A and B are shown apart, each in its own frame.
Chain A
């Protein structure tokens, strides 16, 4: 294994105190942003696309062609129209669930981290219990208990089963903020708990809240599609998971009807990847120790420094004079 020290052309950037002062967005960030925006546009495109997802335009699994860029699904519907509608539905569910989960998580995390003591222990214990029980199981159990699930009810249910992640992240930050002086000042000046939490603590944990929200949305979209593939998805609606559900039910994979299952699979993968990439690049913005500099700039800087060093060495020891014993060369 070579040296643990990153090579010179990959140095860490000089530490900056305020991350917002120099929002050094990397290539990763822009790629992820393009992905996420692209998918949102795909969903929105459904509003302007001529065919409606419920319209029967062909028979079982017609191949792409003749005005249907992605052929038909098992119902004879335009796959592309269904895809757009499905993307939209999945995004909406993700967003609603994300908001619900982030809100609960932030509230729990803030209270736990700030109040501390036995209250924190209790809240964190509950959080860990909810975290340990596999959420898909809880979702399955809830879904089979509900008579009908709509998009909204499903989103809310997903939200209330996935908040522990956010709670943990927020709690860690909140408890470190709680010990800072300006909080004491606020407390002494008579501000009450909700006020302190909102005005003094929240801004510091905002970065973590944003990152957690991004992850929650992605997680919710995936949870919904998993449920849909199990047959427990929102009834009467189209989502990416439901599209896959029908594809599996009608043996699209074995039958080679790639247009019926590849598009939703790819979109799901890109959604998940895009959001995760976004969160990881945001993590680098807020956590400088994870940064690993821009290649071209590093190379130029290193070359510049080497040249400077050479000049200085020549000044101290002009060509011809005996060089100092670089005894270190024997290392």
Chain B
């Protein structure tokens, strides 16, 4: 099948995934028995500052604003419409803060930690894995076992260990947070410099585990390729080992690209909890807070954004694979 058809097919399935994700995102929270607005209003009432009449007004205001009195399918349409125009609604808990603002503040922190972790982790991990496979011997054993251990560790477990070891005990890094108390986020050198010291531990706990996973995968693929017929044949023709290494690398990379898509999904998921551990003001912390507050618009918005981001990343990776793998890029012409 040609590259064009491959891309079209992938696009089709990803569209299905997107629709499923959006629908799930909309539907599930609404299956909650009872009304989230009830919870909030009763919370307000508990504060005692609101009279019975005010409660009613607030309640009706909420219902109208969030469209909770309309039939389900209508709510879905409203929801879709709002999502596509980029309006993610208003927060329940932080009313009247807009969800867009909340996410806008949190997202850069998450991306700043996760994106470099993925890129650096992928390159470094594959290199380490390839070298281990080629050198063999004790080097390989050591690298494989430690990489396996690191890759097996949940992201947040490493976070906890690093936080305790390097921040609490050794005092080398600050204990949680993203910047020093009293500072406000801004694009100034002073602020960024301060934020860097808070950046290291969260970044390391993501990148180290990611490297471990990539190294293990690459090592297995390279070892598998080492036993391939084309390696034997190239050797039989007198081709030097360096050249053969290049052949092996190109072949081993392909499944690694496919694996990258999944690894990104896992990293994003794990990063959520890592932010909790470090009190890092990214979307993970935002989500956690929203869950405790039953703040449905925020919860929905965060899950939607995360899902769309992961789907997009996966889609791009799959396209890249289609371009790189000659079996897809160059259609089968069937020379006889």
A254 to B231, CA, bound (A): 54
Binds A, one of B44-52, B87-95, B107-115, B218-226: B218-226
Q: Are B164 and A262 in contact (CB under 8 A)?
A: yes
Q: How far is the CB of B285 from chain A (nearest CB, A)?
A: 11
Residues in B with CB closer than 8 Å to A231 are 288, 291-292
Q: B153 near A: Cβ within 8 Å?
A: yes
Question: Given the interface contacts A253-B164, A280-B148, A290-B224, does A229 sit within 8 Å of B25 by beta carbon?
Answer: no
Residues in A with CB closer than 8 Å to B260 are none
Binds A, one of B60-68, B98-106, B237-245: B237-245
Q: B70 near A: Cβ within 8 Å?
A: no
Q: Are A248 and B24 in contact (CB under 8 A)?
A: no
User: Which one of B160, B168, B248, B291 contacts A265 once the chains associate, using CB atoms below 8 Å?
Assistant: B160
Q: Are A137 and B306 in contact (CB under 8 A)?
A: yes
Residue interface mask B129-145, A partner, CB < 8 A = 1: 00100111100100001
Residues in A with CB closer than 8 Å to B191 are none
Q: B265 near A: Cβ within 8 Å?
A: yes
Residues in A with CB closer than 8 Å to B163 are 253
Q: Are A134 and B269 in contact (CB under 8 A)?
A: yes
Segment 165-216 of A: residues with Cβ below 8 Å from B = none
User: Which one of A133, A135, A276 contacts B148 once the chains associate, using CB atoms below 8 Å?
Assistant: A276
Q: Are A1 and B291 in contact (CB under 8 A)?
A: no
A289 to B222, CA, bound (A): 11
Residues in A with CB closer than 8 Å to B29 are 141, 144-145
Segment 220-257 of B: residues with Cβ below 8 Å from A = 220, 223-224, 226-227, 231, 235, 241-242, 244-245, 248
Q: Are B28 and A141 in contact (CB under 8 A)?
A: yes
Question: Given the interface contacts A138-B24, A276-B148, does A129 sit within 8 Å of B276 by beta carbon?
Answer: no
Binds A, one of B12-20, B117-125, B182-190: B12-20
Binds B, one of A5-13, A65-73, A313-321: A5-13
User: Which one of A12, A147, A276 contacts B33 once the chains associate, using CB atoms below 8 Å?
Assistant: A147
Residues in A with CB closer than 8 Å to B306 are 134, 137
Q: How far is the CB of B56 from chain A (nearest CB, A)?
A: 26
Q: Are A140 and B303 in contact (CB under 8 A)?
A: yes
Q: B272 near A: Cβ within 8 Å?
A: yes
Q: Are B288 and A133 in contact (CB under 8 A)?
A: no
Q: Are A131 and B262 in contact (CB under 8 A)?
A: yes
Question: Given the interface contacts A3-B241, A277-B148, does A248 sit within 8 Å of B276 by beta carbon?
Answer: yes
Residue interface mask A1-41, B partner, CB < 8 A = 1: 11111110110100000000000000010000000000000
Binds A, one of B72-80, B307-315, B328-336: B307-315
Residues in A with CB closer than 8 Å to B21 are 133, 137
A262 to B310, CA, bound (A): 31
Residue interface mask A74-112, B partner, CB < 8 A = 1: 000000000000000000000000000000000000000
Q: Are B299 and A144 in contact (CB under 8 A)?
A: yes
User: Which one of A132, A134, A269 contacts B157 once the chains associate, using CB atoms below 8 Å?
Assistant: A269
Q: A220 near B: Cβ within 8 Å?
A: no
Question: Given the interface contacts A222-B154, A254-B176, A269-B154, does A2 sit within 8 Å of B134 by beta carbon?
Answer: yes
- How many residues does chain A have at the interface if contact means C-beta atoms less than 8 Å apart? 56
Question: Given the interface contacts A137-B303, A289-B223, does A230 sit within 8 Å of B160 by beta carbon?
Answer: no
Q: B287 near A: Cβ within 8 Å?
A: yes
Closest to B155 in A: A226
Q: Are A268 and B154 in contact (CB under 8 A)?
A: yes
A268 to B152, CA, bound (A): 10
Q: Are B227 and A12 in contact (CB under 8 A)?
A: yes
Residues in B with CB closer than 8 Å to A147 are 32-33
Q: How far is the CB of B32 from chain A (nearest CB, A)?
A: 5
Q: Are A265 and B157 in contact (CB under 8 A)?
A: yes
Q: B210 near A: Cβ within 8 Å?
A: no
A290 to B311, CA, bound (A): 32
Q: Are B156 and A229 in contact (CB under 8 A)?
A: yes
Q: How far is the CB of A23 from chain B (nearest CB, A)?
A: 20
Residues in B with CB closer than 8 Å to A290 are 220, 223-224
Closest to A11 in B: B136
Residues in A with CB closer than 8 Å to B33 are 147
Closest to B26 in A: A141
Residues in A with CB closer than 8 Å to B291 are 140, 144, 230-232
Q: B200 near A: Cβ within 8 Å?
A: no
Closest to A276 in B: B152
Residues in B with CB closer than 8 Å to A28 are 145
Q: A59 near B: Cβ within 8 Å?
A: no
Q: How far is the CB of A297 from chain B (nearest CB, A)?
A: 15
A256 to B235, CA, bound (A): 58
Q: B192 near A: Cβ within 8 Å?
A: no
Residues in B with CB closer than 8 Å to A244 are 156, 160
Scoring A28, A142, A253, A261 by chain B CB atoms within 10 A of each residue's CB, the highest score goes to A253
Q: A128 near B: Cβ within 8 Å?
A: yes
Q: Are B153 and A272 in contact (CB under 8 A)?
A: yes
Q: A136 near B: Cβ within 8 Å?
A: yes
Q: How far is the CB of B80 from chain A (nearest CB, A)?
A: 17
Question: Given the interface contacts A133-B20, A147-B33, does A10 sit within 8 Å of B137 by beta carbon?
Answer: yes
B residues with a Cβ closer than 8 A to A are 13-14, 16-17, 20-21, 24-25, 28-33, 131, 134-137, 140, 145, 148-149, 151-154, 156-157, 160-161, 163-164, 168-169, 175-176, 216, 220, 223-224, 226-227, 231, 235, 241-242, 244-245, 248, 261-262, 265, 268-270, 272-273, 276-277, 287-288, 291-292, 299, 303, 306-307, 310-311, 314
6 contacts between A and B (CB under 8 A): A3-B134, A129-B20, A140-B299, A230-B291, A254-B175, A254-B176
**Given A10-B137, A133-B307, A137-B21, 6 additional A-B pairs, CB 8 A:** A4-B241, A7-B136, A10-B136, A129-B20, A140-B291, A231-B292
**Lowest 5 CB-CB distances: which A-B pairs, in order?**
A136-B269, A273-B152, A141-B28, A6-B136, A276-B152
